[in-house]
């Protein structure tokens, strides 16, 4: 079986471009300061991303040529950041991907990189609580890039509580609205538990679902009960407000990424700052706002 990590689309490239631009600007901004710069990749993958792309056919060929294109994933992007981070932590659960990550790390001998195998939630919480980040003059960036609803709220809280980590969170909007169906009769216990784990509260249920009075349905029957009134926009705003309860610096308006074929909302790329100091918030949000705005305008251009 191939060890290639097939995932994503042009939208994934947009997400990774935001990360690349931020890591470079962040590392440059902090270079002259006496901080230990740390990068944590909580869902690191293999270090590379492979996508199949349909190439345009030559004029005398009917068949489209499909080719595999491999580009750097988040781990390589971090390892290639200049000036380099003092420490790069790559977390991955899948043993095959862990093996791939270890050989990627060997390609960058100058970097102080470590691969950690296991559940990102447990490992991130452990790392966050292990250090007195401010006393030890540690600052950093963490990237949360799950496939779906894997990030537990306690993990987000632990990151925010360091007040030293800037967080890029690729938030799974589509996973969320799949688990929160319009028809509450389809909202089973597995879905409820999954959403509550992501937010650390079940207040989403009260905020997204509204009581509906008795009314005639199409067949003249009386129907009563709840319905999900919250649109995707409202849910995204709700996520933003929830993140703001723990990130004391700031949480920026996210970049909405869409499925390339259906154009349906896929995820929202959030940027949050845990450090409440105005100077830190100013630098981080100036860089990230610019990056997110570039991401939004390139999205508009490509439509």
Ligand X SMILES: C[S@@+](CC[C@H](N)C(=O)[O-])C[C@H]1O[C@@H](n2cnc3c(N)ncnc32)[C@H](O)[C@@H]1O
User: Binding-site residue total for ligand X (CB under 6 A)?
Assistant: 19
Among 4, 7, 201, 226, binds ligand X (CB under 6 A): 7
Burial of 129 (C-beta count, 10 Å sphere; 0-12/13-18/19+): exposed
Give SS3 for 64.
Answer: coil
CB of 119 to ligand X, least distance (A): 4
Among 9, 36, 102, 119, binds ligand X (CB under 6 A): 119
Query: Which 8-state DSSP code applies to residue 32?
Result: T
Residue 93 within binding range of ligand X, rule CB under 6 A: yes
Q: Which stretch binds ligand X (CB under 6 A): 102-110, 140-148, 242-250, 277-285?
A: 140-148
CB of 152 to ligand X, least distance (A): 9
Tell me the DSSP string of 213-267: EEEE-TTS-EEEEEEE---HHHHHHHHHHHHHTT-SSEEPPPEEEE-TTT--EEE
Burial of 291 (C-beta count, 10 Å sphere; 0-12/13-18/19+): buried
Residue 45 within binding range of ligand X, rule CB under 6 A: yes
Residue 11 within binding range of ligand X, rule CB under 6 A: no
Q: Which stretch binds ligand X (CB under 6 A): 24-32, 101-109, 128-136, 144-152?
A: 144-152
Q: Which stretch binds ligand X (CB under 6 A): 38-46, 51-59, 252-260, 276-284?
A: 38-46
Residue 49 within binding range of ligand X, rule CB under 6 A: yes
Binding to ligand X, residues 255-284 (CB under 6 A):
none
Query: How many CB atoms are located within 10 Å of the residue 78 CB?
Result: 28
Query: How many CB atoms are located within 10 Å of the residue 2 CB?
Result: 7
Distance in angstroms (rounded) separating the CA atoms of residues 27 and 23: 6
Helix axes 278-302, 10-30, angle to 10 degrees: 150
Identity of the residue, 30 or 44, whose beta carbon is nearer to ligand X in the bound complex: 44
CB of 12 to ligand X, least distance (A): 7
Q: Contact positions toward ligand X, by CB under 6 A?
A: 7, 16, 43-45, 49, 73-74, 91-94, 97, 119-120, 145-147, 150
């Amino acid at each position: 079986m191939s060890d290639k990590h097939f995932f994503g689309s042009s939208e994934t490239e947009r997400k990774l471009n935001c990360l690349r631009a931020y890591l470079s600007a962040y590392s440059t901004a902090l270079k002259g300061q006496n901080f230990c710069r740390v990068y944590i990749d909580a869902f690191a993958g293999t270090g590379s991303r492979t996508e199949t792309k349909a190439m345009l056919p030559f004029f005398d060929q009917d068949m489209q040529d499909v080719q595999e294109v491999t580009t750097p994933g988040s781990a390589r992007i971090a390892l290639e950041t200049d000036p380099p981070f003092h420490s790069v932590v790559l977390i991955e659960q899948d043993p095959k991907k862990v093996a791939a990550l270890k050989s990627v790390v060997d390609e960058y001998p100058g970097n102080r990189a470590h691969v950690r195998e296991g559940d990102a939630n447990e490992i991130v919480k452990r790392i966050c609580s292990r250090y007195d980040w401010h006393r030890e003059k540690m600052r950093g960036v963490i990237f949360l890039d799950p496939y779906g609803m894997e990030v537990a709220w306690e993990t987000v809280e632990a990151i925010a509580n360091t007040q030293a980590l800037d967080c890029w969170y690729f938030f799974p909007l589509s996973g969320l609205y799949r688990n929160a169906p319009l028809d509450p009769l389809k909202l089973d216990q597995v879905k409820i538990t999954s959403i509550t784990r992501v937010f650390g509260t079940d207040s989403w249920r009260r905020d997204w679902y509204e009581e509906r009075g008795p009314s005639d349905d199409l067949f003249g029957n009386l129907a009563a009960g709840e319905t999900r009134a919250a649109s995707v926009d409202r849910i995204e705003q709700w996520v933003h407000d929830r993140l703001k309860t723990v990130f004391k610096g700031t949480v920026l308006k996210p970049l909405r990424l869409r499925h390339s074929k259906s154009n349906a909302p896929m995820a929202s790329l959030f940027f949050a700052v845990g450090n409440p100091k105005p100077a830190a918030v100013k630098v981080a949000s100036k860089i990230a706002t610019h990056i997110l705005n570039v991401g939004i305008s390139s999205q508009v251009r490509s439509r």
